[in-house]
Amino acid sequence: MMETSLRRAGRALAVAAAGVLLAAGPAHASSTQVSVIEDEHQMLELGPAVQAGALDDAVALGADVVRANVIWSHYAPSPNSKKKPKGFDGKDPNAYPALAPVDGLVQGAQARGLQVLLTATGPIPAWASRCGGSVATRRTCKPDPTLFGQFVRALGKRYPTVKMWSIWNEPNLRAWLTPQYSGTTLQSAAIYRSLAASAIAGLRGTGHRSDTILLGETAPIGSRPGPRANANPEPFIRAVLCLKANGGRMAGAEARTQRCTGFKKLQVKGYAHHPYTRGGSRPPNSRVNAGEITAGTVSRLTRILDQAGRAGRIARKLPIYFTENGWQTNPPDRIFGVLPEQQARYMNQSDFMAYGNSRIKSVAQYKIIDDADEGSFQSGVRMLDGSPKPSYAAFQLPIWVTKRGSGVAVYGQVRPAADRAPLQLEIQHASSAGAGFTTVKTVAVSSLKGQFRTTVPSVSGGVWRLRWGAVTSRQAGVGT
What confidence tens digit (pLDDT) does each residue in 160-212 have?
A: 999 999 999 999 999 999 999 998 899 999 999 999 999 999 999 999 999 99
Cis omega before residue 388 (within 30°)? no
Residue 5 has pLDDT above 50, yes or no: no
Q: What is the pLDDT of residue 28?
A: 59
Mean pLDDT of 238-257: 96
More confident residue, 9 or 321: 321
pLDDT of residue 432: 83
* 399-404 and 407-413 strand pairing: antiparallel
**Which 3 state secondary structure label does DSSP give 35?**
strand
Question: Which homologous superfamily does the CATH classification assign to the domain defined by 4-396?
Answer: Glycosidases (3.20.20.80)
Please report which confidence band the pLDDT of residue 7 belongs to, taking 50, 70 and 90 as the band edges. very low
Average pLDDT over residues 432-451: 90
Q: HEC states along 334-402?
A: CCCCECHHHHHHHHHHHHHHHHCCCCEEEEEEECCECCCCCCCCCCCCECCCCCECHHHHHHHCCEEEE
Give 394-404 pLDDT, tens digit per residue: 999 999 999 88
* pLDDT value of position 192: 98
Confidence tier at 4 by pLDDT (50, 70, 90): very low
Render 294-344 in DSSP notation, one character per residue: -GGGHHHHHHHHHHHHHTTSS-TT--EEE------BTTT-TTTPBPHHHHH
Alpha carbons 223 and 13: distance in angstroms, whole number: 8
Q: Which pLDDT tens digit goes with each residue over 249-301? A: 999 999 999 999 999 999 999 999 999 998 899 999 999 999 999 999 999 99
**pLDDT of amino acid 470:** 58
The closest of 449, 434, 469 to 398, measured between CA atoms, is: 449
What's the pLDDT at 459?
80
Report residue 24's pLDDT band, with 50, 70 and 90 as the boundaries.
very low
Q: What is the pLDDT of residue 434?
A: 81
Q: What is the 3-state secondary structure (H, E, C) of 207-254?
A: CCCCCEEEEEEECCCCCCCCCCCCCCHHHHHHHHCCECCCCCECCHHH
25, pLDDT greater than 80:
no
- Asked if 315 and 268 touch (Cβ cutoff 8 Å), the reply is yes
Give 14's pLDDT tier (boundaries 50, 70, 90): very low
| pLDDT computed for residue 337 by the predictor | 96
Helix 187-204 and helix 145-158, axial crossing angle in degrees, nearest 10:
30
Give me the pLDDT at residue 471, please. Answer: 57
Residue 21 DSSP code: -
Contact 299, 307 (CB under 8 A): no
Q: Inform me whether the pLDDT recorded for 20 exceeds 70.
A: no
Q: What's the confidence (pLDDT) of residue 313?
A: 98
**pLDDT at 311 > cutoff 80:** yes
Backbone Cα Rg of the chain: 22
SS3 of 422, please?
A: coil
Reference 419, options 113, 38, 3, 94; nearest CA is: 113
CB 123 within 8 A of CB 169: no
- Is 354:33 a contact under the CB 8 Å cutoff? yes
**In this structure, which amino acid lies at residue 256?**
R
As a whole number, the mean pLDDT across the chain is 90
32 band by pLDDT with thresholds 50, 70 and 90: confident
| Domain boundaries along the sequence of the chain | 4-396, 401-468
For residues 73 and 259, what is the distance between their CA atoms, to the nearest angstrom? 27
Query: For 299, phi and psi rounded to 5 degrees?
Result: -60, -30
Quick one: pLDDT at residue 21?
27
Mean per-residue pLDDT, 82-106: 97
Whether 139 contacts 188, CB under 8 Å: no
Q: pTM of whole model > 0.85?
A: yes
As a whole-number percent, the residues of the chain with pLDDT over 90 amount to 81
CB-based contact 167:195 (threshold 8 Å): yes
Task: Give residue 469's pLDDT band: very low, low, confident or very high (50, 70, 90).
Answer: confident
